[in-house]
Structure formats: structure tokens, C-alpha cells
Structure 1
Amino acid sequence: MAQRRTRFGDRARYWFDSTLARGASALVGWMALLCLAVVVPASAVLVWTEPDAPASLAGRLAQVWRLTGETLRLGGATGTPLRVTMSVLLALVALLYVSTLVGLITTALTERLTALRRGRSTVLEKGHAVVLGWSEQIFTVVSELVAANTNQRRAAVAVLAERDKSAMEEALSTKVGPVGRTRLICRSGPTTDPSVLTLAGPATAGVVLVLPQDEPDADAEVVKTLLALGAALAGEEPRPPVVAAVRDDRYRLAARLAAGPGGVVLESDTITARLIVQAARRPGLSLVHQELLDFAGDEFYLVDEPILADRPFGDALLSYPTASVVGIMRGETPLLNPPPQTPLAPGDLLIVISRDDDSAWAADCAELVEEAAMASGPPTPVRPERVLVLGWNRRAPLVVEQLRRCARPGSVVDVVANGGEATVRQVTEADADSGTGLTLTLHHGDVTRPETLRRLNVHLYDSVIVLGQDPAPGQPPDDPDNRTLVTLLLLRQLEEATGRELPVVTELIDDRNRALAPISPGADVIVSGKLIGLLMAQISQNRHLATVFEELFSADGAGVRLRPAPDYVLPGLETSFATVVAAARLRGECAIGYRCHEDASTSPGHGVRINPPKAERRRWTVDDEVVVVGKD
């Protein structure tokens, strides 16, 4: 068969490409030929069209050479061949020098810009917040720090993580939104390297926050980061306060030792388990916690009020028209909800919930109390509970433990999980210390399959807790939410089929999935990363609140509770909130707000009202609830 003839254009292109492949010398040659091919004809046109051009051909050619040399910076001298050659040589040397200088400057600028894009320059801010590590908590922490810095002129937050600087900036810009006057500074590098930690300027920082990363060995990484931080701050006095979080209680002591004196280490899994159980026992409690921990709402403050010295604590409960008193800070020890007769000693600080630190002003509110509207009967008795747990993860044993601590005899906890040896062993170990009358039973099944849930009479349970599986190695950290959303869809189908609403408490990893969850607007959703991020942000602004929150979220301490309103005031009567506070004082509790049943499904507060004015009046119904700080 005859061979097809190659076209001239293809052969010319192939020859040109092969020439360029020889390297820089071929490229320079082609550029020189191209320039000459354009400049020489153009110069000739200019010379031949000039009225004063030399008459002779040699003169005109010399003029063309002079224009060509001036254009290409080749000297352009005329005369003897030696003179022309030296002129060209000097022009080439000058061109080489200038080109090399420009190349060096360009390279240096490029390297500097690359280093800046990689986040390798040192932060020179003072009093800024340093966030070490990257996880889903980063967006909550940064958002809250931005909200706390609203009234500050020159505030900054420096984030150091082993991620691309541009990617971090883009993610923060997308999820945090406008930051106002606060400057967000991102630096890239490992947080376990002391020399890299100095890039974030921890020595001059106002606070350092260490986040657990989305990795299996996240707690060990936190301990190592704290050790690196101590090495980076060696010899620096005073050191900035440190706030860190670990997941497993086994690493908490090591993290505290690494954080040094004054460091605060939170245990995220235990706190999350307690909040899940509290919300399961009293739906709506997660909304109260979020309101208390969010900088956008009312917050905890420490107030010095000398005029109340030597008076009983009970008097302080009705001494602030626009703030709610919940305890005493005596030195470094918080006394949440102490007995009303506890005297206030000189130097004691009051722990109050207020809109701002300057809105807690003292004034007697006792005249607002209407004793005739106060309930006098016994509190609503606590009965045995039936709890259904759908799914199993590393926090599930902690959830079971919290359920057992306050369980009444006859209480039942049924666990439905995809039967694996680890799950069976964990449930067996969780039930090993049973002695409180709590019955724990494991049912094998996939909670994402309809037939599994149809076998359960879910409406017989007082609460349903939906837990996501722990992410497998290499799996996205928020992937368990996909299974949780499927389970919630099946539960919603059961609700629609029976016409009865289920008291569901859902654990999510990513707060963005809350908008996707098929649940009622006021349902309880525990986003562990967000809650711990809110806690860390609050403590970073006031380190003395660490012990307050530790007491508030401890298993045996005085925590936030939701109680039936008829236990405090007579339903159907209109009375002031001061009356509710006085009624709670008689029961040894501190009333800090309420939840209106009629507004439970209305955004954004879903009926939750924290720290209402003592003079606020409303008509209380049987289904309303009072938010108090007290013990079970």
C-alpha cells in the first residue's frame, strides 16, 4: 500500500517543534530571527520614506543598521567592522546584565510571594488569638472570636494548620462570612514543630486555642502540639492562657500537664454525652445551652457588688432587674446555685447571666414578686424512663453511663446497632456495673433500614437518641451524618404514619447538615464540634469561666435544667418573672429563663427566653417550662 505523503505544513511544524526541543539556545535563536525579521524591514521602510535620507545606498543601509541597533539595543554604531563589532558586544553585555538583574529580582519576588501564599511569614500582632489545628470546630471558634471582638478596633485571629494557606482563607471566608474589624491571618505548617509555631506569634498572643484534628490519633496530636507550644514559649513571661480540647479522658491529664499552669483542657466526648442525655430527658435543653454559650445572646459574667456583702445569696437573686444570678465565685472556686442562706463574703464575685458586662446593675426587685401566684404543691415526680438508642459510636458508652447515673428503678435503655463484636463487647461492658435498676438491652439491626425501625414500637419510648457511627480511617469526618439523615427520614415517616411526634435527640458532626435534617425546627440537635467550639471561645475571653463551665456540665454539679412551669407558678395567671425567681428560690434553684410552648416551633429562639427582665409579665400555661440552674 502506498505511503501517504506528509503535508509541508506538518513537516515544517514538526521541524520547528524539534528545534525548540533542543533547549534555551534554540529558543533564543528563534527569538533573534523573529525580531530581525520584523525590525529590519520596518527600519528600511522608515529610512526609504524619510525625506532627508542619504542619497547613496551605503548611507541608507547604515541608517537602517542604526535604527535596528537602537530598537534592539545593539549599539547601532557605524564605521569600521571592529567598531561595529565592539558596539554590538557592549550592547550584548549590557543586555545580559539587565536581563540577569531583572531575572534575579523577578525570582526573588516570586519566592517571596510564594512564601507569603504558603503562610511562612511571622505574625507581629499583639494581644491576638492564636488557633492551632484544623477541624470543623475552627469555623465556630473563629466566628465566636469575631463576635467577641466586635467592639475592638484592632483585633486579629491567627490560624496555624498543616493545610494550604489559600484553601484555609477560602474556607474561612465562605463559612465564617464578614469579619468586621477583625483580621484573619492564616499560616501553614505543622503545629507540632516549635520553630513553625513561632510563625503565629504565640509569645505576644492574648490566648492560644488548640483544636483536636479530624484524625484517629487527634488527642495524641493535641498533647504533642501543647508540648511544642511550651518549647516555643520557653523563657517567655508571661505566657498566654491556653485552651485545648481532647476527646478521650485518658489524654486529659497528659494534656493538662503539657498545657502548663493555668491551661484549660476540655473533654469533648464526655461533655457531649452529658448534653445528649440532658436533652433526651428534657427536650429543648440543647437550645438553652446554645443560647448561653453563643456570644450573640446572654453570657456568663463575674460581677463585684460590694453592697451585697454579708447578705444571703438568696437576696442577690432578686437584686438585678436585667441580669440572672446563678452563683458565687469565691477565689478560684465557683459555687453554682448555693443554698439561699449562704452569706456573701467580702471579695466574692457574683456569677450572673447578662446581655453585657455593663448591663448588670443592682436594684431591689422584691416588690415585683406576687406570692399569691406561686405554686405551693410538690414538684412533678420523676418516673422511670424508656430510652431508645439508635446507632453506636465511641461516645455511646458515655451516654449509657450518664443515663444510669440518674436512672430511676425500672428504667429501660434499648440499643439498636449493627451487630459487630466491638459493639457487643462495648454494650456488655457498659452494662457490667448495672446496679441502679437500669435495664440495658442490645438489639442487632441496621438503623438505616426501614424494617429495623418497623419492628420497634418507637412511640413507647420517652426519648429516641440517634448516634452516628465513628468515621472509618480515610473516611470524611462528617460521613456518619449521611447515615444519621437516612435514619431521621425513616423516623419522620413513622411520625407521619402514626400522627405522633417523636422526642428525638440527634447527634450531628457537621452543623451545616442541621438544615438538611428532617426534624421539627425546635428539635434537639447536638453538634459536638460546635458546642465544644462555643465553650472554647467563651473560656478564651474569660479564663475564670472555665471552672464555672466545668461545674455546669459535670455529672453531679448544678447544671441547666428545664422544669414544668406549674411547679413554680399557677397556670393561667399572669405574673412577673420575678415571681418565678422567688418560687425557684424556695426550691433551692436559680431561675434564669423559660420556654414558651406556643412558640416552640417558631424561629429563631423556638420559645426559649434567657434572662428576661424581672418585671416582664406573661400568662403561664401548663405546657410552659422554666429554665433553672439546679441539681437533679
Structure 2
Amino acid sequence: MLKDIPKYIKYRIDRMLNKGLFYQLLLLVFAIIILLLIVSIFIIVFFNYPPKDAFWDSLMQFIDTGNISSVDGSIGIVLTFLMVTFIGVCGWGSLIAMINKALQDRINNLSKGNAFIMEKNHAIILGYGEEALTIVEEFIMAKVKTIIILSEHNVDIIRKRISFIKGSKQTNIIIREGSASRIENIKLLNIAKSSSISIINNDDTESLNILLALKKIVEEEELDKKINICVLVHEEDTIEIIKSIEEKNFVIHVIYKYEILYKLIAQSIIYTGLSNVYEDLFSNDGNVFYIETDHDFNDCKFEDAALKYLERGMILLGITKEDRSQLLIPNYDYLLKKENRLVILSRNNNDDNIKEYPDIKPSIVKYKNNILLICEENRYDEIIKEISEYMENHNTSMISYNSIKSQKNKYKFMREKLKEENTTKIVLISEDNVTDVKSINILLIIRQIIRKENLNIAILSLLNSIQKRNLIYSDDVRDFIVSGKLIGMLMAQASISSNILYIFYGLLSKNGKDIIMSPYSDYFNESKSFKDVYLYLLRKKVIIIGVKRYNDVIINPNNDCMLDNKDEIIIITNYVLEEENEELIF
């Protein structure tokens, strides 16, 4: 029994040390008092030290190391107080170490998400992927004051990558480490006062777990506020599952990554340079879509309202009435109503002037394109299925990465392949980091062939990695690389204004809604200003949003910019307007 006493004392001490700083300090103070009492009794018994001064003098020696110089007495007392002074130094060091460790633990706990967020109107990002940094960058451009990221990735690595984003130091960015699907972690983010929630994961199952956790919190806290959530999915089957858990106050905006990327690729195959248009429209740094609900154009003609917006450097695109409704272009003489929601394209801070080039006619391809699709062999059927609605009048041939890799002289093989097929467009598809490497190697070879052989071939590349995309990015509109960066831009736009997402979906759909490029000469024989072109096309229920001149694509140029036969105009057309009792049907 007596043998177990030391073990029990040690166990109790260990338990107190594990309880935190307060109990550690109590234990340290208790140990100091016991030590000073022992020293006091020792000097009283052996050196006849005055009892009333023994404890006080021992305490002074413990607290202040300089007091040793004022000690009077025998050598034994001096040595005893010297020992007390040394122990005091160790005691103060232990105290500082305890406080420092407690602060470090607190900081670590905060970084791992163990503190409640007291912000409001903050943007929340749950999970981490290639698109997360793009979303943060777009939020910063959109002047979002507070951004919160919760993921299982290392906080220091994320913080370092974010530090390279322009404007990150002026934005309050809180990074938490922890599972984004744990209800306890999400509750600390104060979702009731958040402005948006974006969910990004490479695994759709994890995204579903996060959505279920969010829904559970909404039900438990009985939140009246409508929670708008934007989630990125990688598999089409996931969309149906997500829609089954959506409710009135729990609205989920789904972005199917590869559907959008494939549509961008497909539309860009038809119109070289169109991909640059979407990159400008998706970015908060470019021209920005917004929906104006508080306007004073009641009983005003659509044409008159459009003219007033043009004078302010904005383009009136059309009307949308309800959430998730698509854009409609009414007749030019349609009388606007107060309840109409006006869709506006607002110019960025730059004054975009169209550069002057020699009198070169635009090279609009009127014949069938011969498209060479380079991808993994097992993905060919699925990719063709996604882009088939755009490929009706084009010839498509396919070659796999492994087929090219097996060739000893890849340059010669690709050169002969391009000439043999009379290729006019090349599409490279990569959906993972391993295939990215193969795609980049082949892209560099193709660029060299086009440059040396002086071939007029457009290249469209889909890469998984945003970082790799940035390494080989080209300013040439005929050589465009699509990556998760565009998806990140779209997610940021959808998080800031969810209604804009469905306008983009409409523009990316072929059925009745298209952004296309058309020769200026198809509409006009003489030079006209952008303003005059806009008003003329408006009467044909066509909206011009920009101009392509040679390799320059300008969205929403100045009103007095002159257009002529060397240009291609970027227009929104083919919208269907139903009429019933002279009212718009939405």
C-alpha cells in the first residue's frame, strides 16, 4: 500500500498538469511555498536565523536575484540563499515557459477552428482545391472584407499561397484547420451571419457530408435567413442527390465542373477567341454582370433605358424577373415595368480602346472544322457526348496520349498528323495531374510545329492544375488554356450574386441562347461607332457586348470606338421571347 503512494501522487500531478495553465500555475505556486517553508525551517534550526524574517527573506531571494549581494551572515546562510536564488531563476523560467506554451496552444487552437467567429457578412469557403485560391482572389477583387477558409489542409501552406495574391494583406482572411464536414467546426463559423458559402472538394462524397452538416445546423438553429450555398461537383450523379436535400431556406447552387469546361471548349472551337470573352465575364477584375432591381425606368422604352446605360459606360443586356430565370431580350419599344429586373454589363476601371491594325479581313471559318481531339482513350466517348451538340457540322478525329507517347519522333508524327487530317482546331483534354504533364509536353511540341510550319491552327487545352496553366499561359487568342481557374471565377460570381450563375448557364447553353462572333460586314457596309452598332442591332433583338479585332478581344469598349470591316462583333443572340397580352413571360 505504501509503495503505491508515490505513484498516486505522480498520477495526480500529471492530471493537474494536463488541465491547463491555471492548474499548472497553482501547482507551481504550491511547490514554491513548500520550498520556501523548508528553507525557512532549515536556516532557523541550523543557523539561528530570526523566525519572523526567515520566510520573507527567503521569498525576496527567490524573487530578486540581486538581493544576494546584501546578505549578511555565515557562509552557510549565504550558500543557502544562493541556492534559493538559483531555484528562483529556474522557477521564473518555468513560469515563462508555461505562459508561452499556453499562448502557443491557444494560437494553434484558433488556427484549427476552436473559436467562434464574431464576424458578419463574411464569405465562407469549406474545403480546399485548385479553385479555392481563385475564389479568394475574386472575393478580394469584389471587396469582400472577411474571408474564412476551413479545410483539413495545412494552415501555413494555405496562408503562404494566399500571401502571393494581390490585396490579400488588406483583406481579413481567417484560415482554420479541421474537418469541414464536422458540425462542431461549422457551428463556430457563424453561418447565420455569413454572406455566402462555397464548398470545394476533390471528392463529391465529402461535399455531400458538408451539405448534410449545414442542413442539420439550419434545422437545429431554426434559421429564418435564406442560406445560399454554391457547391462544386465532379460527377453528374451527385447533382440529383444534392437536389433531393434542397429546401426553401436551404438553396444549393450546383456547378458541375466538367460540363461547364466542356461547353466552354465546344463553343470556343466554333469561335476562336470566345474563351477570352468568358474569362473576362467570369472575373471580378473584368467587366461585371449585375442585376438592377431598384431602377426608375417604369413605363420607359427598353431602347431609351439602354441608351442611358450606354452613356454611363454600361450595356443593358435584357431582363430577368425571378430567381434562377434566364435572360430575355425584349423588343426595343417594350415598356419596362418597375418589377422588371435589369441585367447590366458594367465596365471595369480600365478604358478599353480598340487597337488599330492594317486592313485585315477577319478570318471567320465558314467551312467545316477538322478537329483533332487529344485525350485519354477511355474518356473519348464521354467527351464527345458532352460537346456533340456543338459538333454537328464539324469533323472530329481522336488520338490518345499513349499513342503519341509511343512514337519515337513525336514532332514528326504530330506534324504529319496535322497535315494529313488538314486540322483547323486542336483540343487537348486533361482531367488529372498525371495527364496534365502529358498534355503540356504535347502542347509545347504542337506550338513549335505551328510556329515553324506557319500553320493557322487554333489550340484549346483543358488542364486540371491552375498552377500548370499559369506556367504555359499564352496571350494568343488562338492558343487558349481552360482550367479550374474559370470554375473558381464562376463560383465566386455565383457566391456574390447567385442569380448571375443562371445567366451564365443560359449563355453556355446552345438551346436558344448563345454568345457568338460574327463578321461586322454581315450587318454593315460602312464604319460605325460602337454606340450606333448597339442601337441598330437592338432593333433586331441582338445585343453587342464587344469586339474582336485581329488578336484583341475587347468587352464593352468606349461608345465612340469606330468599328469596320476588319472586326468581328461579339453578340448575344437567338433568344426566344414569348408574348402574351403584351407582357413578358418568364
Q: TM-score, normalised by structure 2?
A: 0.74
2:398 maps to which of 394, 400, 415: 415
Contact 1:242 1:264 in 2 (8 A): yes
For 1:353-400, what per-residue CA distance to the aligned partner results, in whole angstroms no more than 9, with x for missing partners? 01279x9xxxxxxxxxxxxxxxxxxxx996433211012388754542
Contact 2:269 2:425 in 1 (8 A): yes
Partner of 1:198: 187
Is the partner of 2:456 in helix, strand or coil? coil
Distance 2:80 2:471 in 1: 78
Partner of 1:220: 205
Once structures 1 and 2 are overlaid, which stretch shifts more, 261-270 or 553-562? 553-562
Q: Is residue 325 from structure 1 mapped to residue 310 from structure 2 by the alignment?
A: no
Correspondence list, 1:354-503, <5 A: 354-355=346-347, 383-392=367-376, 397=381, 399-408=383-392, 411-418=394-401, 445-446=404-405, 449-458=410-419, 460-468=422-430, 470-471=431-432, 477=433, 479-503=434-458
Return the letter of the residue paired with 2:137.
S
For 1:569-608, what per-residue CA distance to the aligned partner results, in whole angstroms no more than 9, with x for missing partners? 22xx3311133224433543211111112xx1xxxxxx21
Q: Is residue 536 from structure 1 mapped to residue 491 from structure 2 by the alignment?
A: yes
Q: Give RMSD over aligned pairs.
A: 3.5
Partner of 2:14: none
Distance 2:486 2:180 in 1: 23
Quick one: structure 1 residues 514 and 88, their matched pair in 2 at CA, closer, same or farther if it must change by over 3 Å?
closer
Partner of 2:461: 506
Distance 1:353 1:247 in 2: 30
2:524 maps to which of 569, 582, 593: 569
Partner of 2:260: 271
Contact 1:312 1:343 in 2 (8 A): yes
Contact 1:595 1:625 in 2 (8 A): yes
Matched positions, count: 491
Partner of 1:608: 553
Contact 1:226 1:259 in 2 (8 A): no
Partner of 1:377: none
Q: Is residue 553 from structure 1 mapped to residue 508 from structure 2 by the alignment?
A: yes
Correspondence list, 1:209-358, <5 A: 209-213=198-202, 218-233=203-218, 234-235=220-221, 236-238=223-225, 240-258=227-245, 260=247, 261-304=250-293, 308-310=297-299, 313=302, 316-321=305-310, 322-332=313-323, 334-340=325-331, 344-355=336-347
Return the letter of the residue paired with 1:352.
I
Partner of 2:537: 584
Is the partner of 1:222 in helix, strand or coil? helix
Distance 2:455 2:418 in 1: 12
Quick one: structure 1 residues 391 and 78, their matched pair in 2 at CA, closer, same or farther if it must change by over 3 Å?
same
Partner of 1:371: none
Return the letter of the residue paired with 1:353.
L
Distance 1:609 1:177 in 2: 24
Superposed displacement of residue 106, structure 1? 3.7
Distance 2:70 2:185 in 1: 52
For 1:40-73, what per-residue CA distance to the aligned partner results, in whole angstroms no more than 9, with x for missing partners? xxxxxxxxxxxxxxxxxxxxxxxxxx9xx96696
Distance 1:582 1:447 in 2: 56
Quick one: structure 1 residues 74 and 452, their matched pair in 2 at CA, closer, same or farther if it must change by over 3 Å?
farther
Is the partner of 1:320 in helix, strand or coil? helix
Partner of 1:621: 565
Superposed displacement of residue 404, structure 1? 2.3
Superposed displacement of residue 117, structure 1? 5.2
Return the letter of the residue paired with 1:620.
D
Partner of 1:165: 155
Distance 1:580 1:396 in 2: 42
Partner of 2:73: 78
Unpaired runs of at least 5, structure 1: 1-65, 360-379, 420-443, 472-476, 601-606
Return the letter of the residue paired with 2:399.
V
Partner of 2:40: none
Once structures 1 and 2 are overlaid, which stretch shifts more, 584-593 or 179-188? 584-593
Distance 2:292 2:562 in 1: 29
Unpaired runs of at least 5, structure 2: 1-60, 352-363, 576-586
Return the letter of the residue paired with 1:220.
T
Correspondence list, 1:63-74, <5 A: none
Is the partner of 1:170 in helix, strand or coil? helix
For 1:189-243, what per-residue CA distance to the aligned partner results, in whole angstroms no more than 9, with x for missing partners? 1111111223433332211111123xxxx11111112222233443144254211
Is the partner of 2:225 in helix, strand or coil? coil
Amino-acid identity (%): 21
Contact 1:385 1:407 in 2 (8 A): no
Superposed displacement of residue 109, structure 1? 2.7
Superposed displacement of residue 465, structure 1? 0.6
Contact 2:274 2:516 in 1 (8 A): yes
Quick one: structure 1 residues 393 and 331, their matched pair in 2 at CA, closer, same or farther if it must change by over 3 Å?
farther
Partner of 2:19: none
Superposed displacement of residue 140, structure 1? 0.9
Contact 1:122 1:200 in 2 (8 A): yes
Return the letter of the residue paired with 1:298.
N
Return the letter of the residue paired with 2:154.
D
Return the letter of the residue paired with 2:347.
R
Contact 1:128 1:207 in 2 (8 A): yes
Distance 1:450 1:546 in 2: 42
Superposed displacement of residue 308, structure 1? 4.2
Distance 2:445 2:528 in 1: 43
Quick one: structure 1 residues 108 and 290, their matched pair in 2 at CA, closer, same or farther if it must change by over 3 Å?
same
Return the letter of the residue paired with 2:212.
L
Partner of 1:595: 548
Distance 1:76 1:126 in 2: 61
Correspondence list, 1:76-155, <5 A: 78=73, 101-116=95-110, 118=112, 120-149=114-143, 155=145
Distance 1:73 1:227 in 2: 67
Return the letter of the residue paired with 1:618.
M
Distance 1:309 1:140 in 2: 39
